[in-house]
A and B are shown apart, each in its own frame.
Chain A
Amino acid sequence: MDNLNIGMALAGLLMLIGMQRMQGGHAAFPWFAAALAAAILTPLTLGGGENELILLAALGLGASLALILGLAADMAALPARLALMHGLTGAATALVASIAVIEQLLEPGLSLALASLSILFGAFSAAGAAVTHARLLNLLPRVWRHVAQAGAGITLLVLTLGAGAILATGLREGVAWLLLFLGLAAASGVTFTLPLAEREAPLAASLFGSLAGLGLALLGMALDLPPLLATGLLSAILTLILSLHLSRSVNLPLHRLLWGASTPPVREEPVLTSQPLQAEGVAGRLAGQAEVLLIPGFGCMAANACAELVELGRLLEQRGTRVHLLAHPLGGRLPGQLELLLREAGAPQDWMLEHWPSDRPLPGLVLSIGAHDLLNPALRLEGMPDLRQGEAVILLVKHLGGFSGSANPLLHEPQVRVWLDDARHALGQLNQLWREA
């Protein structure tokens, strides 16, 4: 194990340099690529054991799957792909710990207990992340909620821990017992995740990453591989603190994720008192504006309307309007995702803003695209303008309840007009009108 430890420590060190570069705003890719090369080459140079051909076949298949996971989707699918890949790392950790149990590499006691916990965290996060991935891709028809869900989830988790404890003490050995434990851990992960709605899924995926990291750290201790302990724990702490930060920012406490038990029901949609705008009315209001602020949000991303939005900006700019595009970090499913989507759609750098300075006056017209929750003055998000101070505001929304279902007082402001439509369809129609004008 010593040579493997040296190789893995080198890979870990290269990743730390990459993260330091990332912190400074520089490219981290070359360092992470070098780290991965070190992580793969170390066991290969150690001989690959007796099963080298099988090992190379697994690596080749894994690389092919990675190409599909990494390339066959646009930036809108990033949160779903991240959830899936966190799940795959959890599955890998659980399987490595299972091999150590199957091949009887560990003595009953502390080592076997650590491996059992590693299996629990790995299988739990793998199953949960798979459900989260399906939820984010809208593959699940509905959110499963039941009054007894928290009780059932906790009972299942206690049973899983009991099975793990019996496995760790060596009271029961054999593959059947290990499979039972793996199945219970995976069922716990599924039970935990099924009651979570789409809004909670990215946060849950981040938490599963943290659990997978913890599982890896425990595996490192069980197998006497200190670099695994260090990288696993570093990942677990990083993702946990980032998840806490995100949960505070979106006003979604982490404890609300516990089997979806206390997630409040979605409110009824508010009634609109004024007549909603149509594309022609919006085009008329945009015409002749010296400066316009465009604020895309989750609805813009979900409708895959970023290309139409950038096109609108270009049409406005061609007619002499100065365009600002506010890509707030909370605009997408994950902080920073919306900016990536807009860049992918070709948004110029000089339009982009991450925050609107509180002392900067608002332009004559603000058009928000699916940013109902982001603009809610009741949520007071840092870096978002208070549109109650705006001269004219148009909210393009698909439905008045927004994504979170929170009441939005902006809907009742006299200078705010609502445009009810799907973002992609609405912007496409507006661009067509501008092109023909």
Chain B
Amino acid sequence: MDIGAALTIALLAALLGQAWSLRVRFGAHVNWLVAALMLNAMSLPAAMLLLGDASTGLGLLAGFVAVLVASAAAIGALIWLRRMENLQSRNITSGEHG
């Protein structure tokens, strides 16, 4: 990758990350940690591509495990996000039994 382009992308991503993180409500901190986890799980498509083209036994094994753990983390994080947002949107009032 061209170093100039890489540095530009890195700078923009860093600025965006800083701008967002400084505005995060403390009570919603945990939602953002799950969002960051989803971003980290973007290794999944790269793992899938490299596993698809792997030609050695060890490459196949490493690719298989990489796809397995990346998809587990990504889908697992998505399930937690759904559960958290469901709870946060729940609006039980006094007198109702949750």
Chain A residues within 8 Å of B, Cβ to Cβ: 1, 4, 7-8, 11-12, 15-16, 18-19, 22-23, 25, 27-29, 32-33, 35-36, 39-40, 42-44, 46-52, 54-55, 57-59, 61-63, 65-67, 69-71, 75, 78, 81-82, 85-86, 88-93, 95-96, 98-100, 102-103, 105, 175, 206, 209, 212-213, 216-217, 219-221, 223-239, 241-242, 245-246, 249, 310, 314, 317, 323, 329-330, 334-337, 339-340, 343-351, 354
Contacts and interface: CB of A to CB of B under 8 A. Distances in A.
Contacts of A1: 49
B33 A230 contact: no
A337 to B, nearest CB: 6
Given A39-B42, A347-B98, A348-B94, 4 more contacts: A61-B68, A99-B66, A336-B27, A351-B94
Given A234-B13, A335-B29, A348-B92, A63 B58 contact: no
Contacts of B88: 339-340, 343
A239 to B, nearest CB: 5
A65 B79 CA distance: 12
Interface of B: 1, 5-6, 9-10, 12-14, 16-18, 20-24, 26-56, 58-60, 62-85, 87-98
Nearest to A110: B3
A48 B36 contact: no
Given A92-B69, A340-B30, A78 B80 contact: yes
Nearest to A5: B45
25 contacts: A23-B23, A43-B52, A54-B60, A57-B64, A58-B67, A62-B70, A66-B78, A66-B79, A70-B78, A75-B83, A75-B87, A89-B40, A95-B66, A98-B62, A209-B40, A212-B40, A216-B42, A217-B13, A226-B1, A228-B42, A230-B10, A241-B22, A242-B32, A343-B92, A351-B94
Contacts of B53: 49-51, 103
Given A19-B35, A346-B98, A39 B69 contact: no
Given A92-B43, A102-B59, A314 B97 contact: yes
B80 A81 contact: yes
A29 B82 CA distance: 6
B87 A82 contact: no
A152 to B, nearest CB: 28
A354 B63 CA distance: 45
Contact of A96 (B16, B24, B46): B46
A102 B90 CA distance: 49
A425 B15 CA distance: 49
A335 B59 contact: no
Most chain A Cβ neighbours within 10 Å, of B33, B59, B90, B94: B33
A317 B96 CA distance: 12
> What are the nearest 5 A-B pairs in CB distance?
A49-B52, A346-B98, A70-B79, A62-B71, A237-B17
A339 B5 CA distance: 43
A91 B45 CA distance: 15
B59 to A, nearest CB: 5
Nearest to A38: B45
Nearest to A57: B64
A339 B26 CA distance: 12
A238 B17 contact: yes
Contacts of B60: 51, 54
Contact of B35 (A28, A52, A227): A28
